[in-house]
Amino acid sequence: MRGAFVFDPNRCTGCSACELACSIENQLGTDRSWRSVLSFNERGIPGVPVFHLSLACNHCETAACMEACPALAYERDPATGAVLIRQDACIGCRYCSWACPYGAPRFESDRGVMGKCTFCSHRLADGRKPACAALCPTGALDYETLDEDQLLAQIDGMPRTQLGPSIRILPLERRSTAGLTNAVTTGSGAGVPLDVTPHEPRIELAGEWSLAVFTLLLAVLFGLLAADTVGTRAVSPLLFATISALAAGLSLAHLGRPARAWRAVLGIRRSPVSREVLGFGLMASLGTLALSASEATVSAAAAWPGLAAGLVALVSADRVYGPVHHDGSPVLHSAGVLLTGLYLAGLMAGSAGMALLIGGGKLVRYVRRTRQAGVSGPGAAIRRLAVASRVGLGFVVPAAAWVIGGTPLTFWALVAAVLGEAIDRTEFYSELEIVSPARQQRLDLDERLAELPSSPPAPALIQS
């Protein structure tokens, strides 16, 4: 038994009173609500039903947001089962919004922290329903205490998950094929495209560039430390420390509340972000120590643990993207942080085996992905240039430099390699998609459209 939202799409008219009820009850001001009403087939494409979903937080049994939070800012209210965010503990890293498939935690840019639905636990505490459920004018949205087997979240536009959301969505019943009814009297207008793209939460490079550069620097640092440690290239401690400081600054810049950055390591037991941060911190400090130490024993004693921490950081950095990367594993992506770190290490250390093995793997994966996606349409010329640069700078230039000049590779050959990786990393960010109801709507609508009969049916009457 647990408290749950009950939603009847047959009653909901999409009026948005629930959104306003939330804004008012929780004093969120006029521009913000923790609840959103989404319309399926909002443009009314004939033959596909239009209906609405009113969604906030589902206070899942397995709370993805809570699991993802590196700062331990989430907690569950034992009395109501509500998943709550402690805004005074939130560092504003936004990873919970990547992890939640329902779009519940939202970044409050004015305060630099996340906000989300509280189940109106203050109302539940004194026996009143959440404001949205209490105020829905049609009775479409309600709150009830339900058995586990009454929970149901299967409807177009609702992400399918294993999280155990506390919601019961009744099945949609549409007895007429509304959009088709009058098909005989009007043309389809099929020649004119409708913009049906819903407003999805997106990961935009413009907003995430600091992370993109940070992860690339992580790989560079690992390569430098590895090369110095195996003794094939002497790395200046100043260079290493400078890059480390730059990387640290970039990761801080990404936070809504940089002053609370220290909290990022609290989630070490399950958050890849915490492990990434801790691994990076250790690699940076031990690496700087190793490179600057004059004693060889001290240097070695710091270098190897530093490299180990670096490996943890690289793997964790990839795993951070698990929830938003939908094409295989981010660790095996041609721009994966681990692979890039190892590849750069091979190049910098002059290990032909490592460079060939990892670089070859990256190249194969890159080529395969590029061929699958194809290069056509508007922007094809730019895209071709990008692909050529990625392969040329990332692989051809270092390989040529190696063949012509041998190891150690020149500084400029390494710079070319890093630039090639940077291009790929940019592509990686453009492929990321946050799982969200809007994205699910797009996928499901595509499916419904594909199912439509190609010729308009006879005018519909009552369907028995």
Q: Is 354 in the site for ligand SF4 (CB under 6 A)?
A: no
CA distances from 256 to 1, 31, 113 (A): 37, 20, 6
Pick 66 or 169: Cβ nearer ligand SF4: 169
Pick 189 or 231: Cβ nearer other proteins: 189
Would you give the binding string for ligand SF4 spanning residues 130-169, x where CB under 6 A is met?
Answer: ------xxx-xx----------------------------
d(CA 35, CA 106): 10
Q: How far is the CB of 448 from other proteins (least distance, A)?
A: 14
CA distances from 7 to 128, 153, 237, 396 (A): 18, 10, 60, 57
Stretch that binds other proteins, among 133-141, 238-246, 268-276, 316-324 (CB under 8 A): 133-141
Q: Is 10 in the site for other proteins (CB under 8 A)?
A: yes
Would you give the binding string for other proteins spanning residues 38-57, x where CB under 8 A is met?
Answer: -----xxxx--xxx------
Would you give the binding string for ligand SF4 spanning residues 29-68, x where CB under 6 A is met?
Answer: --------x--------------x-x--------------
Q: Which does 237 bind (CB under 5 to 8 A by kind): other proteins, ligand SF4, none?
A: none
Pick 54 or 274: Cβ nearer ligand SF4: 54
Q: Residues near 335 by Cβ (< 8 Å), separated by ≥ 6? A: 362, 421, 424, 425, 427, 428
Q: Which does 454 bind (CB under 5 to 8 A by kind): ligand SF4, other proteins, none?
A: none
Q: Is 457 in the site for other proteins (CB under 8 A)?
A: no
E strand map for 157-282 = 167-169
**DSSP-assigned letter for residue 459:** P
The pairing of strands 2-7 and 167-169 is parallel
Q: How far is the CB of 102 from ligand SF4 (least distance, A)?
A: 15
Q: Buried b vs exposed e over 63-89: b needs ≥16 C-beta within 10 Å?
A: bbbbbbbbbbbbeeeeebbbbbbebeb
Burial class of residue 450, CB neighbours in 10 A (0-12, 13-18, 19+): exposed
Pick 58 or 229: Cβ nearer ligand SF4: 58
The interface with ligand SF4 within residues 9-28 (CB under 6 A) comprises 12-18
Q: How far is the CB of 119 from ligand SF4 (least distance, A)?
A: 16
Size of the site for other proteins (CB under 8 A): 52
SS3 304: helix
d(CA 243, CA 235): 12
Pick 56 or 397: Cβ nearer other proteins: 56
Contact status, residue 338 vs residue 314, Cβ threshold 8 Å: yes
Pick 33 or 215: Cβ nearer ligand SF4: 33
Strand partners, 36: 55
Closest alpha carbon to 310 in 330, 290, 294: 290
Q: Which does 54 bind (CB under 5 to 8 A by kind): other proteins, ligand SF4, none?
A: ligand SF4
Q: Where along the sequence are the contacts to other proteins (CB under 8 A)? A: 10-11, 13-17, 19-21, 23-25, 30-31, 43-46, 49-51, 134-139, 174-176, 178-179, 181-182, 184-195, 459-463
